[in-house]
Amino acid sequence: MERMSTTRITWQDAQLMPEDGKRYEAIDGELYVTPAPSRRHQWVSGNFQAELRRLLQEPGHGWVYAAPLGVEFPGTEEGAQPDILFVSKARAHLLVPDGIRGAPDLVVEIGSPSTAERDRTIKRKLYARHGVRVYWLVDHQEDFVDVWDLESGAREPVRHRDRFAIAWRNKLGGFDSLYWTEYPLSEAVVFELAEEGSDVVMARTGQGFGVVWRQSTQGTGSFYSTLHFQSFDQDGRPLTAPIQMAYNRPLAWRPRLSYLGGVFLLTWMEQDGYEEDQPGRIKYVQFTETGARVVEPQELVTSFPPPADLFHVRFEDHTAIMVGTVQPGETADTVSFTRFVCVQ
């Protein structure tokens, strides 16, 4: 990858470049030129395209496209040509005759020595600020996939080797569906949610996975949130019935789920009101793969100033729970980690 501009370059400028087999992208006023892909790059890209079309496009969830195809971000001067992208039916309005105008749901970049640093930093930030939901970076030399959940604000990827899971939500006929697949060894499995769900998170185990989602129901004059946990085997068969937590809380949000040593760790935030300065609590609970509670719900932090976020950091023999708070500033926000709790 080569950066070639001496003056500020727009996506419209990039569109005027010659059709010479290279890809021209305009990012933050710079022109980036990527040479024609290698044979192995094409082979890996083709495999991913085939699987994503089988899992996403053929069942009618949306459309899978591959480079060269331009993605323009309206209202800016930026545009890119991802290796692979997926646009769901909910974003069908982004499809225009000459490309995509807006953020796809999923972007996949096949890394190479000439683009690795750009893909991991510059393009990841580009996709994050323009609303791409999930970003995959495939390293076909070391055989792993880094997955960023950009929609939840994740700044660090989850690295997958051999197999990895993808989950997404699709609004169908008044209810939500959670789709799961473990690429590339199983068919997609669909779980119907009885009510509208959001904040879907999941964690892999050695033989399956766990899923947590949040549902909101309307009470007298307000909405209440409930968290649900369920575990499945590697073929998508339920190991547990859905388990409810965080009953009748106006705000039960930011669930995080990890798995270590045969135990799921679930953390979440609760607030008793909707005011911005309303203090909240942070809770956690631990489950086995069969849904047995190892630890009943516990409060980790009894009061914290919003806005805040939760992070799980996995070590060899324990999981650290980090609580970050954001302090708005005049020119830039600052982030500080105010708690650091270890759970065996």
E runs forming strands in 38-101: 62-66, 71-72, 79-80, 84-88, 95-96, 99-101
> Lowest-pLDDT range, 31-40, 145-154, 239-248, 264-273?
239-248
Tell me whether residue 111 is in a domain. Answer: no
Q: What does the H/E/C string look like for 305-316?
A: CCCEEEEEEECC
Tell me whether residue 334 is in a domain. Answer: yes
Does the pLDDT of residue 109 top 80, yes or no? yes
Tell me whether residue 333 is in a domain. Answer: yes
Tell me whether residue 123 is in a domain. Answer: no
Per-residue model confidence (pLDDT) at position 318: 74
Residue-wise pLDDT for 44-97, tens only, equals 888 888 878 877 888 788 999 998 899 999 989 999 999 999 999 889 999 999
Q: Are 95 and 152 in contact (CB under 8 A)?
A: no
Does the pLDDT of residue 341 top 90, yes or no? no
CA 17 to chain centre: 33
3-class SS of residue 91: helix
DSSP H or E segment with residue 131:
none
Tell me whether residue 327 is in a domain. Answer: yes
Per-residue model confidence (pLDDT) at position 175: 40
Sign for the CA dihedral angle at 88, 91, 97, 101 comes to negative
List beta partners, residue 118. Answer: none
Per-residue model confidence (pLDDT) at position 169: 47
Cβ-Cβ contacts under 8 Å for 299 (sequence gap 6 or more) = 281, 282, 283
Distance (Å, rounded) from C-alpha 187 to C-alpha 169?
A: 16
Distance (Å, rounded) from C-alpha 254 to C-alpha 270?
A: 9
Per-residue model confidence (pLDDT) at position 32: 92
Range of the domain at 330: 197-344
Find tokens 């580009």 and name the residue: 126
Distance (Å, rounded) from C-alpha 95 to C-alpha 116?
A: 28
Per-residue model confidence (pLDDT) at position 171: 45
Calculate mean pLDDT across residues 5-32.
Answer: 86
Does the pLDDT of residue 163 top 80, yes or no? no
For the chain, give me the number of helices (H) and strands (E)? 4, 27
User: Would you say the pTM of this structure is higher than 0.85?
Assistant: no
Phi-psi label, residue 173: left if phi above 0, alpha if psi -120 to 50, beta otherwise:
left
Tell me whether residue 94 is in a domain. Answer: no
Closest by CA position to 189, among listed 171, 177, 172: 177
Q: Are 49 and 56 in contact (CB under 8 A)?
A: no
Tell me whether residue 217 is in a domain. Answer: yes
Q: Are 263 and 288 in contact (CB under 8 A)?
A: yes
Tell me whether residue 255 is in a domain. Answer: yes
Distance (Å, rounded) from C-alpha 9 to C-alpha 16?
A: 11
Number of domains observed in the structure of the chain: 1
Q: Please, which pLDDT band fits residue 217 given cuts at 50, 70 and 90?
A: low
Residue-wise pLDDT for 189-214, tens only, equals 555 544 455 667 777 777 778 888 77
What burial letters (b/e) apply to 195-211, b meaning 16+ CB within 10 Å? Answer: eebebbbbbbbeebbbb
Average pLDDT, the chain: 76
Distance (Å, rounded) from C-alpha 138 to C-alpha 335?
A: 29
Does the pLDDT of residue 287 top 80, yes or no? yes
Per-residue model confidence (pLDDT) at position 179: 45
Direct distance between the N- and C-terminal alpha carbons of the chain, in angstroms, rounded to an integer: 44
Token couple for 211: 């899923």
Find tokens 């899978």 and name the residue: 64
Of residues 217 and 58, the one with the higher pLDDT is 58
